[in-house]
Structure 1
């Protein structure tokens, strides 16, 4: 139950931001920011920071630095933003490998960062992460038109920082992009409808992935990613047919 609730919280908080990511065409921003936050986690590990809050501060600090870099590059080199995001991701990933090169448990740490430890999520983690993620989500949904580029990047960095330690880089990317991309045609006509469809796809994907993982004893995070993709594909076809044949009043 805490694992499923963690998934619901991630979906509810990530789909609204994912719509903006797809709209702007900066698909790999979540991977870049998540990877930068991961470097912060690795740095905390190497400095023997034991507390969860200490690790969170390292991750948030790194992600905010990455967000400020992207704010600067968008203002100065906006047309090249997508390749710059890709370069930032590669640099952060390479830095993480360099930092872990002399760590005997580096491979395990890298796996945890990418695929997460979603099966070991506790009620306390869910409560703390829910408070942070839902607060950010409410701010974005209420003030998204006033926040501008800097506000978007900073809220995005804080969101990814929290969720990457909860579910890992792969699920953060999948939760942000897959439902939002599948429902882009709906969101273009009506933003709230696209949001509701995206939430439904995300929650169904997490539920299906967890159920299949439990019954067939398969790795959970990768299976949820595939379940999200399948549910998104089904949702795309259903919503497209619904739009093609509108109901009569």
Structure 2
């Protein structure tokens, strides 16, 4: 609901692609594909993406935020393809990041992901007033103070946690 209210319909795709780019950078650096370090790299990239999307949100922009989100998606997808283009296993890694391995998810991974979703759901429920206020004021961003911008950033970060965990399971295309 917040995504539709804010008018950032494709932010999930863009954050998923940013997370996949982070995982790709980790793989190229030699991190294990399904390891925690690769996940942390994807999460770090997602946090940068969340900060970027929170920063560019303004009512005085000449380019709509949704257009910038689309450009971010395309640039990250192209960068990921370029990273893997010179690798012997690049096409396999690219395929795994795009379509995931949903059929081979372990019960431990399902439990971890479910707990993460519940924790984020609880966080959003606990602070629903702040999230609704910043979502409903998407047309009047000049009236928002730094605290409101922080809540905007927290929205994208928590959304990024969900997206990054989902990309690891289902891939970018399914998320």
In the alignment, does 2:167 pair up with 1:157?
no
| 2:21 aligned partner | 39
* Number of positions where the alignment pairs a residue of Structure 1 with one of Structure 2: 154
Report deviation, 1:24: 2.0
Instruction: Give SS of 1:168's match.
Output: helix
Supply the RMSD in Å over aligned alpha carbons.
Answer: 1.7
Task: Select which of 91, 97, 102 maps to 2:75.
Answer: 91
Higher relative contact order (CA 8 A, sep 6+): 2
Q: Is the 8 A contact 1:41 1:55 kept in 2?
A: yes
Report deviation, 1:78: 8.3
TM-score between both structures, scaled by the size of structure 2: 0.81
Instruction: Give SS of 2:64's match.
Output: helix
For 1:20 and 1:171, how far apart are their aligned partners in 2?
20
Spell out, residue by residue over 1:79-102, the C-alpha distance to the aligned partner (whole angstroms, 9 max, x if none).
610101011111111110111111
Instruction: Give SS of 2:31's match.
Output: coil
| 1:25 aligned partner | 7
Instruction: Give SS of 1:104's match.
Output: coil
Q: State which drifts further: 45-54 or 66-75.
A: 45-54
Report deviation, 1:128: 1.6
| 1:59 aligned partner | 42
Which runs of 5 or more residues in structure 1 are unaligned? Answer: 1-18, 173-249
Q: Is the 8 A contact 1:117 1:167 kept in 2?
A: yes
- Name whichever structure is richer in helix by fraction: 1
Instruction: Give SS of 1:22's match.
Output: helix
**Greater than 4 Å deviation, 4+ residue runs:** none
| 2:115 aligned partner | 131
Instruction: Give SS of 1:48's match.
Output: coil
Instruction: Give SS of 2:88's match.
Output: coil
In the alignment, does 2:152 pair up with 1:170?
no
Structure showing greater radius of gyration is 1
Report deviation, 1:49: 1.3
Which runs of 5 or more residues in structure 2 are unaligned? Answer: 132-150
| 1:233 aligned partner | none
Q: Is the 8 A contact 1:133 1:162 kept in 2?
A: no
The correspondence of residues 237-248 of structure 1 with structure 2, limited to 5 A, is none
In the alignment, does 2:94 pair up with 1:110?
yes
